[in-house]
Amino acid sequence: MRVKSIVVDGFKSYAHRKELADLSPHVNAMTGLNGSGKSNIFDAICFVMGITNLKRVRAEDPRELIFRAGTTGVHAARVTIEFVNDDPASAPPGYSCEEYPTITIGRQIKLGGRQQFFFNNTVSLQSKVKRFFESISLNVDNPHFMILQGTVHKLIGMRSQDILSLIEEAVGTKAFDHRRRTAETLIRNKERKMEEIDTNIEAQIRPLLETMKADQEEYNRFMEKREKMEEKQRFRTALEYYTHRKQLADVEATTAARKQEVQSAKTQLQALPQQEADLTRRQMQLQNSLGAPNEAAASLREEEDELKKVCGRYEGQLESCVTSLKQVEAQLKSLRKEHERQSSGQAAFATRRQHHEDLLGKIKEGKATCANLKKSLKLLQSGVQAGTAGVSLAEERQQVDLQLIEQQSRVRRLTERMGELTQQQQRAEAQQAEQSSRAEHLQRELSKANAALEKARVQYAPLGPKQQRKETLEEEISALKREYQAEYDNFQRQMTNNTRTFDLDYNRYACPPDTEERVLGRVGELIVPKDAAHSVALTVGAQHHALRVVVDDDRVAEAVIRSGLRQRTSFLALNKVQRPRFFIDDAKLQAAQRVAKQHGGWVQHARDLVHVSSPNLDALADFVFGGFLVCSDLRLAQELAYTPAIKVKAVTLDGEIAEPNGLMTGGSTKQLRDTFAELRTYAAQKEPLKALQRRIRTLEAEYAELRDTLRHHQQDIIAYKSAEEAAELAKQRYTVAASTAHGALNEVREQLGKTTSMLAESQEAVSELLERQKKLATQAQATDLIAARHAMEEQLAAAEATLLRLTAEEERDAAEYERLEADTEQQAADLTRKTMEAQEELAQQQSQRLRLAAQMEEVKLKLADVRVRYKHTEDQRQRIEKEIEDTQEELTRLAERKTNLDNLAKNGEVELREQTKTTEELRKRVHDAEHRHAWLLAEQERLNMPGGPYYFDDTARTAAILQDLREVEARAAVASSKLSQKSSVLYEERRREYEELVKQRTALGEDKEAIQRCIEEIESKKWGALDRMVNVVSAIFGKLFTACLPGAAAQLQEERDASGHLTGLGVRVSFNGKARESLSELSGGQRSLLALCLILAILRVRPAPLYILDEVDAALDPSHTQNIGRMLQLYFPKSQFLLVSLKDGMFSNANVLYHIRNTQGYSEVTRIEHKATKQPRQLGEAEAGEEDGAAASLGNAAVASRV
């Protein structure tokens, strides 16, 4: 314990705040010119320590403590001392180093005399500050720690008795002497009291007893007749005394056990706040650390939901794409079948068209033949030789020659084309062989894919209906959610316009998934009145509880509150709700019913008037409705509330309340809200929404179950879809390869067939033209024109008949052919267009499917990463929540334990008070019995002794004696009425007074002897402790004087009386082994040095954390001053000094030097770090330690002697 700094502000000459900062733990010196303000520092220290005598600080008026009495604008003076409490050995009692590492004491005085003390910067009482300084041996009213120049000069002229008195005060025997004098005064008072008692006995009591002796003799004769009754009365008195003592022992034993229990409970209660604080601090840290995982989990949950939505959207798009692909493929398949059907129809139509074209050709040819024949006939009629072509025979022959040349050229071209097509056919056949091998390979792949598909279909068969049901549920849930949102918006508009809402408005996405299901609703929704007539009473009785929100446990309420709850809401957690202490039990209910019956009313327990929707809400119903009664009228409610046997809250049907504390509530009910009716109306209006919500939850539960089931078989589903896609792709590849392989060859073959047919036709035409050419040549040689004309006419008639027949046939088939031709062309065009559109859509859907599959795979990878991070964050959050739950459970257990211990302590204290009363009463009875019947003390050991006169365990004997005593007392009462008992009573009173005085005199004599023995015993200890302390002080004194004045020695010279007790102490000084006869032989400086060393030696006996030396070297020369500085460094290595000196020899040994100067009336402080001259302190410290140990042991002995 040491002083760290001293702050002076406005005190005396220190107008402004000045601080003696960083005081050295050893020697601190102050120097300065006279009047600079050095001593004002010591006055400031005394001022802080609570000095009341202002003359001690050189002031006559409190205003003089303020700078220039407050005339310069400084209206207050304040001084503050800061202590460093770092040594447990010197720490003040009650101020440990851990709790109080630094202690700050301050005092302030203002103009007008108002003062304040400060302890650790908090306003404190002066008594507390003074007790603090006294506990560390800094008593400013007896300032041994302050050594002033006047103190040294005063000690120089002290007598030997005064020096002894100083040492006695240091040892502590002064206090004993004061107490001894007090005890001697007490002994004299007791002796005077004994003399008064003797005088009273001899002068008053004894003559009166002799005067009343005659009356007593007569009374004794009467008492002789009652000897037997007295013996039995003694037996009864002994029985009562024994019973009371036994009861007293039992009660005392019970009280001691109960005290131990209460003390143990209080001890445990004192330790609980720290444990609760630690656990609460730990819980707050955990809750603060829970914020980051919660935010990360919420962010990851939102990201996961977003990715799920994206993945679901991609899955839907992919499934839609696959469905579209299937539809397009089915459409292509149907188009192919349609194409096949159209191909067969087109083949039939081609035959029909060929027939129609042939018919038209024949008609055209017939028309041309008829026209040519007519022209030829005209030429023949004109005498020109003509053929059947309608021109002259020469022209016809030319035409035939030209046609023959044309046909022969065509035959050559067609023959060349046949060669080319034959080569193309050979190449196509080679390509077909290659394509066929590839088609066979693709066919095998198709077979494998179909086999894998069939294998996967076996596993997928039971999952197919579930997959379809899942898709159906997705569509149905989506539709219901849209419907629910529309209904909810409509409901919100109605609630805004009509009534208040009871819904919780919080962020449901920030809560765990099952939070909404675990919020059960309002109390008034879950617990309803059985009869609507009781609604008002139950609403008023339940008060705000009816609108509180019920949740499964407290963690749900915490999650809702932390998720941005937008209105102030109270929650009731079912896992924490307990039956209230004021719950009305059956006894009070029966008592209430009896009172109601007397008043002609009725009463019911509110708990019995409500209906609970679920058994797990019974504790909640007990908590809300278990503490009050519902009755018929207000007068009955008052009786129930104020009757001592009942004293419970009562509510009438009209909502009037009477409570045991005297509170009554009533009046108009217009402003009362029927909470239950409002909640019912609200529930009825919200029922469609709840029905939709229940439907959605049911479907979502089914959907979740199907999703989980399908998720467990996700591999089978993926395998089936992959196999299905692979089979379809293999089929498409095989179809394309097969059609490609046969298409080219078929096309070449078709062209080759057409070319062959055309070649045959051309060759046939050449043959016909050659035959016609021959025929024309033959005809040109004929000259009979008439025969030729008749033949021409016949040919014309035949040609016209044939043309007429063909025209009629063509007219019959023309309409049907045109219809068939239009239908066939339209169907072919439509089919071609649809096929192209389907193929384009198929290509687009396949491309989109690949793109969606890649995107979905990417999203799934991101989702998997988010889930891994979310799982890590959730594990961290759950671990922290588990720690919070464990901490909360521990807090709950501590709270329960605290409640139990508090109840135990309070109940124990009540029982202790009752037992104390019982004990006091039993003690009074026992004491009164002992006082009235002194013989009981002598007979204590014989009480209830078997075979003795006072044996009480024999029940029959005891009862017989008591019965006989009652009979004898009855007869004695009759006899005593004939005698005058006044004299006997007076005699007994005087005799008891005489005995009491004798007892008092005996007790006074015993007290006097005990006090004398104690005084003698402690007196011997006192002289022994004083002798040892004198030896220690003498040894320390000699060493200090030798250190200050080398070559000199000093010791204390004892003066004793005839009993060997110290009566005084002198000082003997020697130089170089030669003793001085008297101190007058010493110089003034040597005497001052001698007095200073004696004071320091005495201070070593009563160490203080701070020593103040004020110019103690004033009368010393520089060498002596230097020696004092070295002595302080050598023999006081662990003490802190604050000294004032004007000599360099003193402050050159200081660790820190403060220079005080006065500038224009203001005191200024300058700190100079000064390293004292190093001394060989090893030996000095060891010697100082030994002397400190001896002083401490003697101090303890002195304390023991005082005790």
pLDDT digits (tens, 9 = 90+) for 109-147: 998 889 999 999 899 998 888 888 888 878 776 676 777
**Could you tell me what percent of the chain has a pLDDT over 70?**
84
Token pair of 58 as six digits: 């050189």
In the predicted structure, residue 1176 carries a pLDDT above the cut 60: no
Contacts 24+ apart (CB under 8 A), 363-370: 363/803, 363/806, 363/807, 363/810, 366/799, 366/802, 366/803, 366/806, 367/803, 369/799, 369/803, 370/796, 370/799, 370/800, 370/803
Mean pLDDT of 778-806: 72
In the predicted structure, residue 1192 carries a pLDDT above the cut 50: no
> What is the 8-class DSSP label of residue 553?
S
Say if strands 1152-1159 and 1162-1169 run parallel, antiparallel, or are unpaired: antiparallel
Token pair of 592 as six digits: 């209430």
649/659 Cα distance (integer angstroms): 4
Q: Which of 673, 699, 726 is the last residue of a domain?
A: 673
CATH number at residue 1129: 3.40.50.300
Q: Which of 619, 652, 673 is the last residue of a domain?
A: 673
In the predicted structure, residue 1203 carries a pLDDT above the cut 50: no
Token pair of 775 as six digits: 């025929």
Token pair of 136 as six digits: 């560390």
Q: Do 615 and 588 share a structural domain?
A: yes
Q: Among 26-40, 325-339, 1085-1099, which range has the highest average pLDDT?
A: 26-40
In this structure, of 318-322, 349-353, 1152-1156, the range with the lowest mean pLDDT score is 349-353
169 is a domain residue? yes
Q: Do 157 and 93 share a structural domain?
A: no
In the predicted structure, residue 1184 carries a pLDDT above the cut 50: no
890/792 Cα distance (integer angstroms): 135
What would the 3-class secondary structure string for 1091-1160 be?
A: HHHHHHHHHHHCCCCCEEEECCCCCCCHHHHHHHHHHHHHHCCCCCEEEECCCHHHHCCCCEEEEEEEEC
CB count within 10 Å of CB 260 equals: 11
**Could you tell me what percent of the chain has a pLDDT over 90?**
5
Using one digit for the tens of pLDDT, what is the confidence trace for 544-554?
888 889 998 88
R_g of the chain, CA atoms, integer Å: 65
* Residue 1174's pLDDT band (cuts 50, 70, 90): very low
Instruction: Write down the H helix ranges in 382-463.
Output: 393-460
The reported pLDDT for the residue numbered 80 is: 95
CA distance to 287, 880, 891, per residue, from 576 (Å): 20, 21, 13
Supply φ then ψ for residue 30, to 5 degrees: -125, 140
CATH number at residue 505: 1.20.1060
The reported pLDDT for the residue numbered 1183 is: 44
660 is a domain residue? no
In the predicted structure, residue 609 carries a pLDDT above the cut 80: yes
CB count within 10 Å of CB 1198 equals: 25
How many separate domains does the chain show?
3
Mean pLDDT of 619-632: 90
311/1040 Cα distance (integer angstroms): 96
Residue type for position 41: I
What would the 3-class secondary structure string for 267-319 be?
A: HHHHHHHHHHHHHHHHHHHHHHHHHHHHHHHHHHHHHHHHHHHHHHHHHHHHH
> What is the 8-class DSSP label of residue 1045?
S
Q: Do 1128 and 1069 share a structural domain?
A: no
1127/1037 Cα distance (integer angstroms): 12
**DSSP codes, 828-849:** HHHHHHHHHHHHHHHHHHHHHH
473/389 Cα distance (integer angstroms): 84
Q: Do 24 and 115 share a structural domain?
A: yes
Q: Do 1114 and 1063 share a structural domain?
A: no
Comparing CA positions, the residue from 1199, 1188, 1185, 1194 lying closest to residue 1097 is 1188
Token pair of 340 as six digits: 């096949």
Mean pLDDT of 1187-1199: 41
The reported pLDDT for the residue numbered 5 is: 93
The reported pLDDT for the residue numbered 200 is: 75
Within 13 Å and on the Cβ side, how many CA atoms surround 771? 6
* Residue 108's pLDDT band (cuts 50, 70, 90): very high
2 is a domain residue? yes
Buried b (16+ CB within 10 A) or exposed e, 1024-1035: ebbebbbebbbb
Average pLDDT of the chain is 78
759 is a domain residue? no
Supply φ then ψ for residue 226, to 5 degrees: -110, 20
Supply φ then ψ for residue 420, to 5 degrees: -60, -45
Q: Among 17-21, 31-35, 457-461, 1060-1064, which range has the highest average pLDDT?
A: 17-21
Q: Do 509 and 562 share a structural domain?
A: yes
In the predicted structure, residue 1179 carries a pLDDT above the cut 70: no
In the predicted structure, residue 679 carries a pLDDT above the cut 70: yes
The reported pLDDT for the residue numbered 11 is: 92
Q: Among 151-160, 165-174, 246-255, 947-956, which range has the highest average pLDDT?
A: 246-255
Beta bridge partners of 1168: 1153
Within 13 Å and on the Cβ side, how many CA atoms surround 41? 29
* Residue 222's pLDDT band (cuts 50, 70, 90): low
Using one digit for the tens of pLDDT, what is the confidence trace for 145-191?
777 766 666 666 677 777 777 777 666 665 566 667 777 787 778 77
Q: Do 1203 and 1083 share a structural domain?
A: yes
Between 385 and 482, the more confident residue is 482
Within 13 Å and on the Cβ side, how many CA atoms surround 526? 25
Using one digit for the tens of pLDDT, what is the confidence trace for 57-72?
888 888 888 998 888 8
In the predicted structure, residue 348 carries a pLDDT above the cut 90: no
In the predicted structure, residue 982 carries a pLDDT above the cut 70: no
By residue range, what is the domain housing residue 1092? 149-211+986-1103+1196-1203
235 is a domain residue? no
**Residues 6+ positions from 663 with CB-CB distance below 8 Å:** 657
CATH number at residue 1030: 3.40.50
Using one digit for the tens of pLDDT, what is the confidence trace for 483-496?
777 777 777 676 65
Between 744 and 693, the more confident residue is 693
Within 13 Å and on the Cβ side, how many CA atoms surround 107? 22
396/780 Cα distance (integer angstroms): 11
Q: Do 76 and 10 share a structural domain?
A: yes
In this structure, of 1065-1079, 1133-1147, 1168-1182, the range with the lowest mean pLDDT score is 1168-1182
The reported pLDDT for the residue numbered 770 is: 83
* Residue 1133's pLDDT band (cuts 50, 70, 90): confident
Comparing CA positions, the residue from 745, 739, 734 lying closest to residue 440 is 734
In the predicted structure, residue 310 carries a pLDDT above the cut 70: yes
336 is a domain residue? no
1132/1097 Cα distance (integer angstroms): 11
The reported pLDDT for the residue numbered 102 is: 93
470 is a domain residue? no
Comparing CA positions, the residue from 149, 211, 420 lying closest to residue 986 is 211
**Residues 6+ positions from 760 with CB-CB distance below 8 Å:** none
Residue type for position 618: D
Token pair of 1141 as six digits: 């000196």
Q: Do 1114 and 1016 share a structural domain?
A: no
Q: Do 137 and 22 share a structural domain?
A: yes
The reported pLDDT for the residue numbered 1193 is: 40
Q: Among 270-274, 319-323, 733-737, which range has the highest average pLDDT?
A: 270-274
* Residue 1170's pLDDT band (cuts 50, 70, 90): low
Within its chain, how far is the Cα of 1179 from the centroid?
Answer: 60
10 is a domain residue? yes
Mean pLDDT of 246-262: 85
Q: Do 55 and 93 share a structural domain?
A: yes
1028/1193 Cα distance (integer angstroms): 10
Q: Do 1167 and 1113 share a structural domain?
A: yes
In the predicted structure, residue 344 carries a pLDDT above the cut 70: no
88/1083 Cα distance (integer angstroms): 44
Using one digit for the tens of pLDDT, what is the confidence trace for 811-844?
777 767 677 777 777 777 777 777 787 777 777 7
Q: Are 915 and 254 in contact (CB under 8 A)?
A: yes
